[in-house]
Amino acid sequence: MDVIDLRSDTVTHPTPAMRAAMANAIVGDDVFGDDPTVNALQDYAAQLLGKEAALFVTSGTQGNVIACLTHCQRGEELIVGKEGHIFRWEVGAASALGGITMHQVAMQPNGEIKLEDIEAAIRNSADVHHPITKLVCLENTQGGVGGVPLSADYVNRVADFVHARGLQLHIDGARLFNAAAALNVEPIELVRKADSVQICLSKGLCAPAGSLLLGTQDFINRARRIRKMLGGGMRQAGVIAATGLIALKEMRSRLREDHEHAEQLARGLAAIPGITVHPVHKRTNMVFFSVPERVDSAKFVAAMKAKNILLIGGPRFRAVTHYWITPERVDEVITAVRDVVAA
């Protein structure tokens, strides 16, 4: 990548190994269950995360929507943090497509939702005026508060809490492997008690597209029907699934490099007069920062673009490190920000 693109880790390009795998993938019709590469990816992911089955879907948003529609019926309710991706960044799909109410609760700076806030949000099912609460959704890492990871201990406590009240737990694990890398645990430990989990194969793992939804075999059987309803049934999808196998087998182990580069960027930006780097509970691959008030945000973005560096936001910016952001490129960014702010 010639441009230094910090807008998101969704901008990553597939690696040369992924491109070769796409060209040589053995394929079949996945709607009929006949694509051997898709089947291999689903089986590998299920084993990796300790779930009975997995379903290949087009995107993280589609995976989350399918999960919500599988867990909940129309008129029922889920509980989600106010900064949760399912609530803020998925076009209200659970409500628009599934008729599901999203009950938003406060999210703490460390990405957690307090158990007492979940308790307070659970509806009285005996009262005919209330929707029935069916699902609690967590996000790991929690991008809305800086990309912070949720610990296995916390996730397990939430799972035990909601299960004791007859509810289900879904985890939006779009960056689950970043969380595992940051916490130095196996990813299975972060989803062991979850009823369903969605993981992205793109972003830091570099696949060009695709996500997986995992759960029990019965859950996935029902989810497969909803995937078809939403137009998510793909035919010779093995050409994409082949990159997912490389993502899970080869790219997870290098995510700590992205975290190190984010720390390098945070340190460098913090040393620039007038730049405020916003603290996070535990950093992964995201850096949030603000420019001085005297600097117009739009002009700052334009000046950085003129230096072949892409950013979005303002006055609070998010810079996301990924496979294509090297230590040398981080230094280029720091120098460019220093020059633009000083101009």
Together in a domain, 64 and 181: yes
pLDDT at residue 2, as a whole number: 84
Residue 101: per-residue pLDDT: 98
pLDDT number for residue 1: 64
Apex 270 CA angle, 265 and 272, nearest 5? 105
Same domain flag for 233 and 268: no
Check whether residue 172 and residue 261 sit in a common domain: no
Longest alpha-carbon distance in the chain:
64
Number of domains comprising the chain: 2
The residue range of the domain holding 312 is 4-9+254-342
Cα-Cα-Cα-Cα dihedral sign, residues 276, 306, 13, 313: positive
In this prediction, residue 284 carries a pLDDT of: 98
Count the alpha carbons within 13 Å of 52 in the hemisphere toward its beta carbon. Answer: 10
Residue that is last in its domain, among 189, 223, 250: 250
State whether 218 and 259 are in the same domain: no
- Looking at the fold, whether 245 and 287 belong to one and the same domain comes out as no
> Do residue 107 and residue 155 come from a single domain?
yes
CA–CA separation, 106 and 123 (whole Å)? 17
CA-atom Rg of the chain in angstroms: 21
Domain shared by 172 and 302, yes or no: no
Number of residues in the chain: 343
- Clarify whether residues 175 and 188 are in a common domain: yes
Q: Looking at this protein, which amino acid is placed at residue 123?
A: R
Per-residue pLDDT of the chain (343 residues; tens, 9 = 90+): 689 999 999 999 999 999 999 999 999 999 999 999 999 999 999 999 999 999 999 999 999 999 999 999 999 999 999 999 999 999 999 999 999 999 999 999 999 999 999 999 999 999 999 999 999 999 999 998 999 999 999 999 999 999 999 999 999 999 999 999 999 999 999 999 999 999 999 999 999 999 999 999 999 999 999 999 999 999 999 999 999 999 999 999 999 999 999 999 999 999 999 999 999 989 999 999 999 999 999 999 999 999 999 999 989 999 999 999 999 999 999 999 999 999 8
Pairing of strands 168-173, 196-200: parallel
DSSP state of 250: I
pTM > 0.85: yes or no: yes
What is the domain-level CATH number for residue 328?
3.90.1150.10
Buried b (16+ CB within 10 A) or exposed e, 305-324: eebebbbebeeebbbbbbbb
Do 154 and 300 sit in the same domain of this protein?
no
Query: Is residue 217 exposed (0-12), middle (13-18) or buried (19+ Cβ within 10 Å)?
Result: exposed
